[in-house]
Every structure is written in structure tokens, then in C-alpha cells.
Amino acid sequence: MMEVVNTIAVMQERCESLRLSGKRIALVPTMGFFHEGHLELMRIGRELSDIVVVSIFVNPTQFGPNEDFESYPRDMESDLAKAEKRNVDLAFAPSVDEMYPGDSQTKIMVEKVTKHLCGLSRPGHFNGVTTVVAKLFNIAKPHIAIFGEKDYQQLTVIRRMAKDLDMDIRIVGVPTFREPDGLAMSSRNSYLNTDERVSALSLNKSLDFAEDLCKQGEREVFKIREAVEALILSHPHTAIDYINICDSHTLEDLETLEKEVLVALAVKVGKTRLIDNRVITIG
Ligand code: AMP
């Protein structure tokens, strides 16, 4: 039976006694509204550990003032049923007041890798992410924490935080789970209407196109960016937030493709901001 815990104190007590009894804990941090991508993270957690903990918390501090915190999709009942079906042991679903009682004065800020991509279009976003993830690590005391490559920069930032702060936690990245037609699964896909859903395919299509161009020998970043931009904008309802081609480790801009590059996209489709990415090894 899965146990649902709402308070930090109970969670810490449960996780401490599990650790003391020799169990290995995997944590899957989420904002809920589960799709198959989330469930895949839980499956990997099951494979790698004895105990799977899933947190469900729509974290207000990682949303900007004009972003979708209020309207972010939520369905706790259905999420808990899905997690239970995946043999999750503990679900941690705190309230905002439980996580942020109001007298907190501490934030975690990772420097360089947050200065690119979503860090530019969403100021403060990654401080919110790293702070809540560090809190969740201290609450669930995991040996392993599992994140999706869909949020590639987030994974990079969390790896950096864990390394820099000597967190004794293995960070595991899981490849992006996609709909059969290639759209990266995301809770935000539920915002899309029928026409927008078609246009949303332009993200994955343009990543395929970028990869083809690289394979054909194109090495000029601006040419790939132009081609990607044209493909996306040929779909109605799309507006580009960024198209970035950068070093897959440092996330620093490149002019010429070399070694392992990240093609990262953030595109508004109607009012919905979608992201996707592809890592391409330059042969
Ligand atoms: P979210 O609830 O959107 O904050 O996502 C929770 C975790 O699931 C994060 O580590 C995400 O990177 C991961 N995730 C979200 N979508 C996908 C996907 N399509 N495939 C794999 N992992 C995903």
C-alpha cells in the first residue's frame, strides 16, 4: 500500500527509519498531473532502489509573476491512483504553507549554467527549482533522485548543485518520453487546443531537421538556427522564445558545431510555452 504524507516531519521520520533499516530510497520530484513520462521516472526509480518516493508539489517559487502557477493543471486524486499502480511506496504532497511557512531566508543559486536558455526567459526560475529540490532532498533523504532530460537545463543545474554542495545523492537522467507522433509529453500539453496540438509537433520535427543538417555536414550554428526557426514559424500559432545551439555540458553558446551539442527550443504555441531539446554528437 502506498502511503500519502502531507507533512515534512512525518516524511523525514519515515525516510529516516527506512534508511536505518538499510533501504535505498529513490526520489522522483514532480509537479503532478502525471503522464507516461512521469510514470517512466517512477519505473526507473523502482529498478534502481528499494523504496520509491514521489513528491507532488506545484512549486510557486519557480513560476514568474506572469506565468501559469494558478492555472497549472492539478489532479491529486488521479495522480495518487497512478502512483499507487506503479508501486510507489510513499507520496509526499505538501501544501504551499508546509513548504514555505513564511520566515524562510535561504535560497540556492547555481551560477553559470542558469545564465542561459530558460534562465534568461524565466528570471529566478532556477533559484526556485534548486531551492525546492534541495528541500525535497533534505525531506526525503534519497540515495538517488530521478529527473527527465526533457528539462535538460534543469537536470544540468541540479547535477551542478549536487556536485558543488557535496550532496551524497546520485542524480539520474531519463530520456524524454514522447507521444506516438513525437510530441514530448508535458503536463502543459493539456492547455493545447486541436490546432495548437498540430503546431506543437513543429518542435520535435525541427529537432529532427537540425539533426539531419548536422549529419549532412552543416557546422554553422546560425544556419541550423535559421532552418529550425523557419520550420517552426511555418506552423500557425507559434512564436519563438529561444532556439539555442550550445555546448551540452556548459550550455554556453557556440558558433560552430563541435563535439556534443544541445539544440534547445522554447516555443509558445498559442498561450502555451513548450520546451524540447536534442543532444547531437558531432562525428
Ligand atoms: P514536472 O512535473 O513537469 O515538473 O516534471 C517532473 C519530472 O518529470 C521532471 O524531472 C521532468 O523533467 C520529468 N519529465 C517531464 N516530462 C517528461 C517526459 N516527457 N519524459 C521524461 N521525463 C519527463
Q: Distance from first CA to last CA of the chain, Å, rounded?
A: 49
55, 118, 151, best to mutate for ligand 1 pocket (most atoms within 8 Å of CB): 151
The residues with which 199 forms a beta bridge, in sequence order, are none
For ligand 1, atom 7, the nearest C-alpha belongs to 30
Strand (E) or helix (H) holding 178: none
Q: Which neighbouring-strand residues pair with 5?
A: 92
Which residue lies with its CA nearest to atom 10 of ligand 1?
147
List 38, 116, 125, 237, catalytic entry: 38
Cα(147) to centroid(ligand 1), Å: 7
**Cell numbers at 242, concatenated:** 529561444
Q: What percent of the chain has pLDDT over 70?
A: 100
Q: Grid coordinates in use for 100?
A: 514555505
Q: What is the pLDDT of residues 10-57, one digit of tens each?
A: 999 999 999 999 999 999 999 999 999 999 999 999 999 999 999 999
Active site residue 38: yes
Tens digits of residue pLDDT in 103-143: 999 999 999 999 999 999 999 999 999 999 999 999 999 99
Spacing, Cα 33 to ligand 1 middle (Å) = 10
- Residue 151 predicted with pLDDT over 90: yes
Pocket of ligand 1 (CB under 6 A): 30-31, 37-38, 40-41, 147-148, 150-151, 174, 176-177, 184-187
Q: How far apart are CA 263 and CA 242, in angstroms?
A: 10
Whether the CB-CB separation of 263 and 231 falls below 8 Å is answered with no
Pairing of strands 170-174, 144-148: parallel
d(CA 229, CA 200): 13
pLDDT digits (tens, 9 = 90+) for 157-204: 999 999 999 999 999 999 999 999 999 999 999 999 999 999 999 999
Prediction pTM value: 0.98
Q: How far is CA 258 from CA 68, 225, 253, in A?
A: 37, 15, 11
Number of H helices, E strands in the chain: 10, 9
283 pLDDT more than 90: no
Q: Which residue, by CA, sits nearest to atom 18 of ligand 1?
A: 37
Q: Which atom of ligand 1 is closest in space to residue 41's alpha carbon?
A: 22
Could you give the CA distance from residue 23 to residue 62 in angstroms, rounded to a whole number? 31
